[in-house]
Copies of this chain bind each other. A is one copy, B any other.
């Protein structure tokens, strides 16, 4: 591998749905780059992700104080803005990739740090390929991030541990509530969580079984069977007096239709409004007559920096740090990974994976992480999950609210003609 000896600028961007800890990775990238001023010049960030690169809307992170950058470690969301914007294949839209290279060239950018999930790993890989083809050297390093925990090779993805902790803590607290009320009121509580394709987030709800809570989990990996589900809820309510259901937004019927799509229409004939949780709750009501409550956590779960997992925050930061170190060592088209060495005590090291093996591969829950009946998680899954939610990393508070940082995000002067998206 060729080591860049010349001093180049760096570009960092956040991609896709943001998380409670993606800014901790940004913090790791920027702080580490600042420690290597002999090799890395300015660190530019894309305003609203890769769109910032395409439109040459760059942010000069050098205008932010050391304390502002440090505060990113405990600030949820994407401090520079993110975007949902998938670059097409090189063949279908070579123009966009070439524009990226042009912008990088115009601003002396030799390092490309892209912080995202599977799609952005793919983009990152293509940028690296094209830079070779165009003869302008870019070292493209992908920093993993996704609450869905569905990237391959890495043992877990930054963002997931904190959502998992949020889901487990919330399900535990709501279960205590239902248990208190079950004698005369609510007997079934349904919590809807994210995860359109993979059930990792829903799985975290299973951790509260260790505290004696009866839980039914509905995974996207298991085709929904209403009769079996109702029988399971019935059995648990008979035994415990109540039960909690954690349903993934991706839970679906045999024909692939989501539970959330029940053909519900409002008075004006508009399509259904709700999620999977009210559908599931009403199923229970119809079949068993139990009073229910339901919650849809939505963004609250992925933004919940106030209850972030300390393990997750630490790993998000470390992967940001390592991304820069890999670049400085001359690596290209790679992603730093979490390689688990043992469950208990939890030990891991930071490894590295070639992007060619990461792009466009989704990692689902292994079947042996889900109980035979399809409604719970196995001990093996619990051993996997427990260390990921371990530890609290509280933000500072003022007047009862977390002190989250909003950066100045000063724009870099443009050098190129405008670009139509």
Contacts and interface: CB of A to CB of B under 8 A. Distances in A.
Interface stretch (A150-158, A207-215, A361-369, A412-420): A207-215
Contacts of A165: 400
Contacts of A386: 399-400
Given A172-B404, A400-B309, A406-B212, A183 B83 contact: yes
A278 interface: yes
A287 interface: no
Interface residues of A, number: 88
A401 B300 contact: no
Contacts of A211: 401, 404, 406
Contacts of A262: 266-267, 273
A391 B84 CA distance: 37
Contacts of A18: 177, 180-181
A77 interface: yes
A160 to B, nearest CB: 13
Contact of A402 (B17, B172, B293, B299): B172
B169 A306 contact: yes
How many monomers of this protein are in the complex? Answer: 2
B17 A181 contact: yes
Given A75-B176, A179-B77, A406-B212, A51 B307 contact: no
Contacts of A305: 173
A403 to B, nearest CB: 9
Interface string A255-275: 000000011111100101111
A6 interface: no
A390 interface: yes
A202 to B, nearest CB: 16
A300 B303 contact: no
7 contacts: A189-B299, A207-B400, A262-B267, A274-B274, A295-B300, A389-B399, A389-B400
